[in-house]
Amino acid sequence: MSLTASPAVRRLADWDDDRLERLADEHGTPLYVTDLDRVRANFARFRAAFEFAHVMYAAKANTGRAVVRTLYDAGADVECAAAGELHRALAAGVPAEDLQYTAVNPPAADLDYAIELWEDTPELTVTAGAEMTLDRLASRGFDGRLALRVNPGIGTGHHEKVATGKDAKFGLPYDEVERVANEARERFDLVGLHAHVGSGVLGDDLDDHRRALSRVADLAARVGSLEFVDLGGGFGVPYRPDEDPLDLEAAAGMVREVTADVDATVALEPGRYLVADAGVLLARVNTVKPTAETRVVGVDAGLTDLVRPAMFGSYHHVRNVSGADREPVPSSVGGPLCTSADVFCTDRPIPRPEAGDLLAVGNVGAYGINLASQFHSQPRPAEVAIEGDDERVTRRRETFEDLTRLENEAPGVE
């Protein structure tokens, strides 16, 4: 498929406002809307650029069953960073042999689950980033397909909290990998090296990304006799309306260049790039409060629905679907939670919001609904997937009864 078959970026203004208004009226707000056609197009574009690589989907970006199944049907295997993600991928119909388990400090129950899965499906690949994890795997009888996670000492990405390539939490120290690999071969079927150096990589980050991946490629040549070298994901998308998209061909050329001497399959794990601009969050304005400093716009969605602005200070474009042609006024949009962190934007020019207006928050398909919570006892939102003219609820809205269900079902509760 040509890289020009679909646009490299989908802006918030490209969504059909009439359709969003109708979906909000039919299903209520807050509401996530996920465009599965866009997910599929993003994957096709990525795979066309990286035609030399084995492409997996990093499920942590969005574990929604419809999303995982859409990508698997399109040709992506699935990389899971936790046992729960393995469970969700299996529930979406992904065979265990097409999964890769890449855990960080895995809890005992997670390892037990993964080993039980491996016992039935020896094709499952398990990735470890600490020597003690190798001992824990061996103590459970695991001697199967193993990849070692490498810490290259260089991190990239949109925020220091996602620059995993330089965080000691992730992966074996670079200078220890050759020794650990030689020792691991005596106990396991060592098939690969793995590294993930950061998230949200755009053009300005590609030089650092190149340096980190070059270190991994050099290490792979020294370790030798590998089936694959997994370079993770991290490819970013533009969150601001005036921000340029990643030059995917340049990124692919960089990866091809740094791995030219690697005698193994190159694997990649895009997540955000595939799903971010396929999702939008809809919210209704319920309160407008003019103040001396700004126009405070209260909506029925908050950080319980989308935590990225509070967690990372992330920018998400906000569009007034109901009044896009009005004069913009400085507006601070926030939700119903009792914390100053519960804001989507501050003093941002938005076509004058009024009570009852529908606002859309863009680029929420990655790390949006996956990070939703019940803080303040807020029920988590519903989700509707669209595919052509088809529309279906893929996640029902939680109720107040759902908030107390696990407590009501606890042993000893009358």
pLDDT in tens, 317-357: 999 999 999 999 999 999 999 999 999 999 999 999 999 99
Q: What is the pLDDT of residue 164?
A: 45
* Residue at 226 is within a domain: yes
Which structural domain range is residue 109 located in? 36-274
Q: What is the pLDDT of residue 155?
A: 47
Q: What is the pLDDT of residue 200?
A: 67
Which stretches in the chain have pLDDT values below 50?
Answer: 1-4, 155, 157-166
308 has which bridge partners? none
Q: Which of 274, 290, 324 is the last residue of a domain?
A: 274
> Which residues are the active-site residues?
338
Q: Which of 240, 274, 308 is the last residue of a domain?
A: 274
Q: Look up residue 144 and give its two tokens.
A: 């199967």
Count how many domains the chain has: 2
Q: Look up residue 273 and give its two tokens.
A: 């790039």
Shared-domain flag, residues 292 and 252: no
* Residue at 392 is within a domain: yes
Q: What is the pLDDT of residue 5?
A: 61
User: Model-level pTM?
Assistant: 0.93
Shared-domain flag, residues 230 and 267: yes
Q: What is the pLDDT of residue 167?
A: 60
In order of 348, 373, 380, 381, 398, the CA distances from 408 in angstroms are 43, 19, 18, 22, 16
